[in-house]
Amino acid sequence: MNIIVMDDEPLALAALKDAIREALPAETPVGFDNAEDVLRYARHRPIDVAFLDIRTGRMDGFSLARQLILLSPTINIIFVTAYMDHLDRAFEIYASGYIKKPATVKRIRQEMSHLRYPCHEESPVLLVQELGPYVFDHIKQRVYHNGLVNI
């Protein structure tokens, strides 16, 4: 699972990453202190869950969330903020969760257990299968012959 964390306050970012690692020992969240770096990262790697602070530098958490949703419509956005007055806006973009700072291990586990788009830990065993001159892509559910799609 690919989890990212964005907070422009270094101590808050470190604390949230530590709490996520404790709540989800098998995961290694990637931290960012600005939205531009998150978007650069998201253009090259699919993100399953994004923990976003709301009040940040040039781009707030809601604007970042909208951009991430455009890149990946099934991303789970969990807002982490010191302010409870943004719940309505979070629901407007169909966020998966909302955590009041400081985020606790218990609260992170609760939000992760109720994701809007569940993350599947296991990949299919067979991704591509060759059958003579044909190649079947199990993920895309397509058959190729000489590199061309057959329907």
Q: Which helix (H) or strand (E) holds 69?
A: helix 61-71
pLDDT at 147: 57
pTM (2 decimals)?
0.77
Report, as ranges of residue numbers, the positions in the chain whose pLDDT lies below 70. Answer: 120-131, 135-142, 144-151
pLDDT of residue 123: 46
Cα–Cα distance, 129 to 145 (Å, whole number) = 12
Residue 124 is predicted with a pLDDT of 46
Rounded Cα gap, residues 90 and 58, in angstroms: 19
What are the strands, taking DSSP E only, across 18-100?
30-32, 49-52, 76-81, 97-100
Structural domains of the chain, ranges and CATH numbers in brackets: 3-112 (3.40.50.2300), 125-151 (no CATH)
